[in-house]
């Protein structure tokens, strides 16, 4: 593949003449145009994407921001969205703070990105009006604030209810909800849904946020838990390893349910019962947003029954 400068040298024309030929502008002869186009075809010339966008006004770059490039869930979520955006360039980066987040949005705006898909480092980050004047923003997982921001997030209170009701339907009554100790809208809302579903059955809702792998088995024994509803699949795997090390059998002694069902995690750990996060529904909503169509409501999670939840009805 060659540049337009090299194409000008090969054709013996100026770059201005080459530009006229490549973009079908007037001011050059038919013979010269055909000569330049033939050379471009022969040498596989392709205009630089950014230059093409400037010339046509068609913005084809999608910027993506996540808190960690090491997160299987975030990467799988963004990859599902990327696959739905055929014809767009997808640029993904990591930020660690709200300030870095704003700085990266400003950079995407300066690059004339069509849309920024973001997982903010903390919930309810307020995006400045100056950024939103020139850049569309769709927030995933955690909500953002700002006029024009589109939050594409499932009903996380309902996520908590769905997971809890599933365990209740399998006969569990002493259920513990296990959470990471960090600030997140999804963590807070899933715990709220868990408490609401337990209250429907007049059962005690135990939420554990302060724990380590060493003391988790003891905390669960003290709670007389028969099932753990974990905030995500990696947390479920951590809990399962801790319990197995302590001699607790999963699911014979204690059932475990996670959330996410991301493709990479499932390939590594295919046995964990979980709730499928609606990544495909989010991808469809992003596509509709870009195409200027009505944005559909995001689906709820769905139960994926595997091997770590035991049915204890009748026990």
Higher pLDDT pick, 87 / 134: 134
Return the closest-CA partner of residue 117 out of 146, 144, 138.
138
**Buried/exposed 201-231: b ≥16 CB within 10 Å, e otherwise:** eebebbbbeebeeeebbebbeeeebbbbbbb
DSSP state string for the chain:
---HHHHHHHHT--HHHHHHHHTT-SSS-HHHHHHHHHHHHHTT----HHHHHHHH----EEEEEES-TT-HHHHHHHHHHHHT-TT-EEEEEE--SHHHHHHHHHHHHHTT-SEEEE--SSTTEEPPHHHHTT-EEEE-SS-EESTT-EE----HHHHHHHHHHHHHHTT--SEEEE--SS--HHHHHHHHHHHHHHHHTT---EEE-S--TTTHHHHHHHTT-SEEEESSHHHHHHHHHHHHHTT--TTTT-EEE-SB--HHHHHH-TT-BEEE--HHHHHHHHHHHHHTPPPPPPPPPEEE--SS----TT-
Note the pLDDT tens digit of each residue in 16-66. Answer: 888 778 766 778 898 988 888 888 888 877 655 555 554 445 568 899 999
Mean pLDDT, to the nearest integer, of 114-143? 94
Q: Which domains does the chain have, with CATH numbers?
A: 4-47 (1.10.260.40), 56-151 (3.40.50.2300), 156-278+299-304 (3.40.50.2300)
Note the pLDDT tens digit of each residue in 246-292. Answer: 999 999 999 999 999 999 999 999 999 999 999 999 999 999 999 99
Instruction: Judge if pTM exceeds 0.85.
Output: no
Higher pLDDT pick, 289 / 2: 289
């Amino acid at each position: 593949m060659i540049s337009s400068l090299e194409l000008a040298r090969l054709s013996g024309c100026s770059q201005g003449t080459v530009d006229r030929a490549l973009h079908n502008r007037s001011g050059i002869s038919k013979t010269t145009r055909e000569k330049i186009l033939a050379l471009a075809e022969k040498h596989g010339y392709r205009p630089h994407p950014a230059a093409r966008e400037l010339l046509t006004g068609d913005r084809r770059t999608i910027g993506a921001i996540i808190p960690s490039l090491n997160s299987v869930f975030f990467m799988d979520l963004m990859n599902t969205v990327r696959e739905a955006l055929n014809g767009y360039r997808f640029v993904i980066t990591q930020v660690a703070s709200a300030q870095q987040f704003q700085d990266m949005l400003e950079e995407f705006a300066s690059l004339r990105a069509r849309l920024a898909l973001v997982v903010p480092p903390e919930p309810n980050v307020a995006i400045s009006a100056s950024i939103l004047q020139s850049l569309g923003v769709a927030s995933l997982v955690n909500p953002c604030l700002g006029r024009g921001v589109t939050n594409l997030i499932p009903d996380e209170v309902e996520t908590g209810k769905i997971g809890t009701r599933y365990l209740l339907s399998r006969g569990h009554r002493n259920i513990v909800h296990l959470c990471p100790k960090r600030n997140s809208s999804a963590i807070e809302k899933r715990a709220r849904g868990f408490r609401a579903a337990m209250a429907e059955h007049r059962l005690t809702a135990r939420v554990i946020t302060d724990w380590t792998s060493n003391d988790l088995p003891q905390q669960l024994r003290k709670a007389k838990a028969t099932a753990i509803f974990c905030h995500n699949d990696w947390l479920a795997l951590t809990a399962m390893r801790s319990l197995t090390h302590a001699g607790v059998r999963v699911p014979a002694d204690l059932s475990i349910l996670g959330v996410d069902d991301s493709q990479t995690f499932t390939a590594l750990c295919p046995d964990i019962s979980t709730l499928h996060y609606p990544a495909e529904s989010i991808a469809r909503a992003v596509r509709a947003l870009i195409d200027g169509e009505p944005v559909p409501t995001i689906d709820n999670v769905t139960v994926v029954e595997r091997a770590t939840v035991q049915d204890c009805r009748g026990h």
